[in-house]
Chains A and B, each alone.
Chain A
Amino acid sequence: MKIGLFIPCYVNQLYPNAAIATLELLQKLGAEVVYPARQTCCGQPMANSGYEHLTQSCNDLFVENFSGFDYIVAPSASCVLHVKDHLHTHTNEKAATEIRGKIYELVEFLTDILKIEKLDAHFPHKVGIHQSCHGLRGLHLAQMSELVAPAFSKPRQLLKMVNGLELTEIERADECCGFGGLFCIAEEAVSVKMGKDRIADHTKNGAEYITSPDLSCLMHMEGILHRNKSNVKIIHIAEILNSSPIKA
């Protein structure tokens, strides 16, 4: 199968290791992965600010880059959700519709399409899962705490396959971290408070690492962690899943 690798703008610029991990992981699992070099962004920052009408040329570029793949995979729940919900173009709606049907966030791609049951990975640390809102309520990567419905969690399912990893729990399973796109700037006080509280929930339960399918959340929490000189680190889930196996 041929996968088009979509690397969100800020991941590309600021967290290339997560992108590299995604690429390597997909290749390990047997896929042919292509990275269209002319990609930029999904357009979400503009759309969420009320400027969806300005995203046309961004959408056109996306369609141009990502037509013709069996699947498109990205290490970012919020970007994938945005494309699924909002990718439309006047120039080639048929292609846009196809893309919306074929785009997956990394975790759901591994559980739902590749259906992997084991991983050769080793990450001997205490890890807390931050279930990003877009991943959770948008892509249904896990069950939402508000609903009366059976529990499940795709990230947890994958992390359990990693040797040596100990999952730590938190009290408020799916409270938002406060990033919210431009919210993190426009409502700085509340945003940071939400981030601090989210981190506290993890640290008081013993997490050494906080992981998520969304680096936007992690970037926001990392900013707070570093400012407060915390030992707790953030890491994108791709890097954990792609970690080297134990040497025999």
Chain B
Amino acid sequence: MKNTLDHAALAEEFNKDEDRVDWHDGALWWIRQKRDRAANQTPQWEELREAASAIKANVISNLHDYLIQFEENLKKNGVKVYWAADAEEHNQIVYSILKDKDIKQMVKSKSMLTEECHLNEYLEERGIEVINSDLGEYIQQIDNEPPSHIVLPCIHKRKEEIGELFHDHLGTEKGLSDPTLLTRVARKHLNNVFLTRRAALTGVNFAVAETGEYVVCTNEGNADMGAHLSDVQIASMGLEKIIPERKHLGVFLRLLARSAIGQPITIYSSHYKKPRPGQEMHLILVDKGRSDLLARPDFRDSLKCIKCGACMNTCPVYRKSGGLSYHNTISGPIGAILAPNLDMKQHADLPFASTLCGSCSNVCPVKIPIHDQLYKWRQEIVRLGYSANRKTFSMKAMALTLSSPEIYNTAGKTGRWLLNNAPFAINNKFNPWYKQRDMPDSSQQSFGEWYAKNGSKTK
């Protein structure tokens, strides 16, 4: 999914349809409000966030030993364990598991990690069909578009558009757009998929080091439908999904769905521990940049993320530009702090796609200081040379101006003079401010000048 456009350009495109922006913005703001209601109904909510943050801090500080413990317990439980350093290795492992059993079709429930690894494309290229069973992800799959939101994959689509897709791919009648009816059609179609696929792949929401079990959370039940009918069950997880003990699930399961969509718990929170008799269970632990992130003191806290999407729902920039403007599997505020670690060249624009308002940090259930990290990434990106040269030039000019009162005062005077006497010099199409806003009214004198004349008279 390469693209040559940056967030600003994609966001501008998105904003050409103001009605759609309003609708998208309203839908996500409503979810933010649901989250607020759920949080306010939960006693000790802020303490819960603090505990979750502290548990994840402990995990990050002891990740190595927890991973060893987890692996040991997985093996005791009869699960086959694999380690993958990057996307390529991960995809290869999945492929070899399937090839070994001569399996040509697989059903998949939500896994952002496998999206990041582009697993579906990898397998399709090698003759293995993969179907996304989560309704939102299924819709995106048949439209050949990545998910725009990690929890609500097609939040940017209108029901009429989805109806069109169903008409083209599932043979529903033209013009059908009722969500219930469309969902029933998908239910029937995917039910057949579950019953006929011998392999199922799931993501992992939480992996318990103490017991070797892992938890998968869905509202649709698609993970369980796939897994319990499969002969081969595969789970892909990022290293950071570990939590120390089973009892800690209480903290995270109380926070996850409330933060994500304002529900007290996802409908299904399934704890997978051992394979069914006659079934194989495989689990792949994936690094893909996580151990690099671990080494960065300014940014390692982003590994605490439990992928709830609350930051996306609250972010006004996200709501008014859409997840696809971030050109990264994980979009929004958390995406903007994870992506530069993975590929700074491609994602250098993301930390700047923000006003640093700080709302994201406040809704984050594990208290990642997202807006602080966005600021720090900006420094990092400039330091490593990923900032445009002319920007550096103008910044140096600004630094010079602001460190010299004389130059500053002259610059201010000149600017005001131009606004008053030669507005065309500033009010033109080369001035992005001027596109949809008037310039500020310029006064005849600055405060500095006023004070110089009147300052001693005031008391």
Residues of chain A at interface, number, CB under 8 A: 75
Given contacts A12-B447, A223-B440, contact A137 B403 (CB under 8 A): no
Q: Indicate whether A113 reaches chain B with its CB closer than 8 angstroms.
A: no
User: Which B residues from 159 to 183 make CB contacts under 8 A with A?
Assistant: none
Inter-chain contact B355/A11, CB cutoff 8 Å: no
Q: Indicate whether B199 reaches chain A with its CB closer than 8 angstroms.
A: no
Residues of B with C-beta under 8 A to A61: 402-405
Indicate with 1 or 0, residue by residue over A166-209, a CB within 8 angstroms of chain B CB atoms: 00000010111011110111111111111101000000000000
Inter-chain contact B378/A38, CB cutoff 8 Å: no
Contact of A16 among B29, B321, B408, B443 (CB under 8 A): B443
Indicate with 1 or 0, residue by residue over A199-223, a CB within 8 angstroms of chain B CB atoms: 0000000000000000000011011
Give min CB distance, A9 to chain B, whole Å. Answer: 7
Q: Please measure, in the bound complex, the distance between the C-alpha atom of A195 and the C-alpha atom of B361, giving whole angstroms.
A: 22
Inter-chain contact A176/B8, CB cutoff 8 Å: no
User: Which A residues from 1 to 51 make CB contacts under 8 A with B?
Assistant: 7, 9, 11-17, 19-20, 23-24, 27, 35, 37-41, 43, 45-51
Inter-chain contact A188/B12, CB cutoff 8 Å: yes
Inter-chain contact A48/B362, CB cutoff 8 Å: no
Residues of B with C-beta under 8 A to A19: 447, 450
Contact of A51 among B42, B45, B382, B458 (CB under 8 A): B382
Residues of B with C-beta under 8 A to A45: 398
Contact of A13 among B358, B395, B446 (CB under 8 A): B446
Inter-chain contact B356/A190, CB cutoff 8 Å: no
Residues of B with C-beta under 8 A to A133: 355-359
Q: Indicate whether A248 reaches chain B with its CB closer than 8 angstroms.
A: no
Give min CB distance, A168 to chain B, whole Å. Answer: 20
Q: Please measure, in the bound complex, the distance between the C-alpha atom of A80 and the C-alpha atom of B437, giving whole angstroms.
A: 26
Contact of B378 among A9, A27, A48, A185 (CB under 8 A): A48
Q: Indicate whether A226 reaches chain B with its CB closer than 8 angstroms.
A: yes
* Closest chain B residue, CB of each to CB of A221: B437
Residues of A with C-beta under 8 A to B378: 48-50
Q: Indicate whether B211 reaches chain A with its CB closer than 8 angstroms.
A: no
* Closest chain A residue, CB of each to CB of B349: A186
Inter-chain contact B436/A224, CB cutoff 8 Å: yes
Q: Indicate whether A145 reaches chain B with its CB closer than 8 angstroms.
A: yes
Residues of B with C-beta under 8 A to A185: 432-433
Inter-chain contact A146/B363, CB cutoff 8 Å: yes
Q: Indicate whether B399 reaches chain A with its CB closer than 8 angstroms.
A: yes
Q: Which of A52-60, A99-107, A115-123 contacts B (4 or more CB under 8 A)?
A: A52-60
User: Which B residues from 396 to 411 make CB contacts under 8 A with A?
Assistant: 396, 398-399, 401-405, 408
Q: Indicate whether B439 reaches chain A with its CB closer than 8 angstroms.
A: yes
Inter-chain contact A145/B447, CB cutoff 8 Å: no
Contact of A178 among B355, B395, B401, B459 (CB under 8 A): B355
Residues of A with C-beta under 8 A to B355: 133, 176, 178-181, 183, 191, 194
Q: Indicate whether B217 reaches chain A with its CB closer than 8 angstroms.
A: no
Residues of A with C-beta under 8 A to B433: 184-185, 188, 223
Contact of B29 among A49, A144, A172 (CB under 8 A): A172
Contact of A46 among B7, B399, B451 (CB under 8 A): B399
Inter-chain contact A176/B39, CB cutoff 8 Å: no
Inter-chain contact B440/A40, CB cutoff 8 Å: no
Inter-chain contact A137/B379, CB cutoff 8 Å: no
Inter-chain contact B357/A137, CB cutoff 8 Å: yes
Inter-chain contact B321/A53, CB cutoff 8 Å: no
Q: Please measure, in the bound complex, the distance between the C-alpha atom of A224 and the C-alpha atom of B447, giving whole angstroms.
A: 24
Inter-chain contact A54/B437, CB cutoff 8 Å: no
Q: Please measure, in the bound complex, the distance between the C-alpha atom of A86 and the C-alpha atom of B415, giving whole angstroms.
A: 28
Inter-chain contact A49/B391, CB cutoff 8 Å: yes
Residues of A with C-beta under 8 A to B39: 148
Q: Indicate whether B314 reaches chain A with its CB closer than 8 angstroms.
A: yes
Q: Indicate whether B381 reaches chain A with its CB closer than 8 angstroms.
A: yes
Inter-chain contact B358/A50, CB cutoff 8 Å: no
Given contacts A23-B458, A194-B317, contact A145 B36 (CB under 8 A): yes
Inter-chain contact A193/B320, CB cutoff 8 Å: yes
Residues of B with C-beta under 8 A to A49: 352, 378, 382, 391, 395
Give min CB distance, B332 to chain A, whole Å. Answer: 13
Residues of B with C-beta under 8 A to A191: 355
Given contacts A20-B450, A138-B358, A176-B316, contact A27 B436 (CB under 8 A): no
* Closest chain B residue, CB of each to CB of A144: B362
Inter-chain contact B458/A27, CB cutoff 8 Å: yes
Given contacts A13-B412, A24-B458, A186-B352, contact A147 B362 (CB under 8 A): yes
Q: Please measure, in the bound complex, the distance between the C-alpha atom of A232 and the C-alpha atom of B46, giving whole angstroms.
A: 38
* Closest chain A residue, CB of each to CB of B318: A190
* Closest chain A residue, CB of each to CB of B361: A137
Residues of A with C-beta under 8 A to B361: 137
Give min CB distance, B315 to chain A, whole Å. Answer: 9
Q: Indicate whether B452 reaches chain A with its CB closer than 8 angstroms.
A: yes
Q: Please measure, in the bound complex, the distance between the C-alpha atom of A54 and the C-alpha atom of B382, giving whole angstroms.
A: 11
* Closest chain B residue, CB of each to CB of A224: B437
Residues of B with C-beta under 8 A to A51: 379, 382, 392, 395, 399
Q: Please measure, in the bound complex, the distance between the C-alpha atom of A175 and the C-alpha atom of B358, giving whole angstroms.
A: 10
Indicate with 1 or 0, residue by residue over B375-398, a CB within 8 angstroms of chain A CB atoms: 100111111000100011001101
Q: Please measure, in the bound complex, the distance between the C-alpha atom of A6 and the C-alpha atom of B152, giving whole angstroms.
A: 46
Rank and list the top 5 A-B pairs by shortest CB-CB distance, nearest first.
A180-B355, A223-B437, A57-B403, A50-B382, A146-B362
Binding site for B on A (CB under 8 A): 7, 9, 11-17, 19-20, 23-24, 27, 35, 37-41, 43, 45-55, 57-58, 60-61, 133, 136-138, 144-149, 172, 174-176, 178-181, 183-195, 197, 219-220, 222-224, 226-227
Ordered by A's residue number, 14 sampled pairs between the chains whose C-beta atoms are within 8 Å are A14-B441, A19-B447, A27-B458, A50-B380, A53-B379, A54-B398, A57-B399, A61-B405, A180-B355, A180-B357, A187-B7, A187-B352, A189-B11, A197-B25
- In the complex, besides A194-B317, A223-B440, 14 extra interface pairs with C-beta distance below 8 angstroms are A13-B416, A14-B442, A15-B443, A40-B405, A46-B398, A47-B375, A133-B359, A138-B358, A146-B36, A146-B363, A176-B357, A183-B355, A186-B8, A223-B439
Binding site for A on B (CB under 8 A): 7-8, 11-12, 14-15, 18, 21, 25, 29, 36, 39-40, 42, 45-46, 314, 316-317, 320-321, 352-359, 361-363, 371, 375, 378-383, 387, 391-392, 395-396, 398-399, 401-405, 408, 412, 415-416, 432-433, 435-443, 445-448, 450-452, 455, 458-459
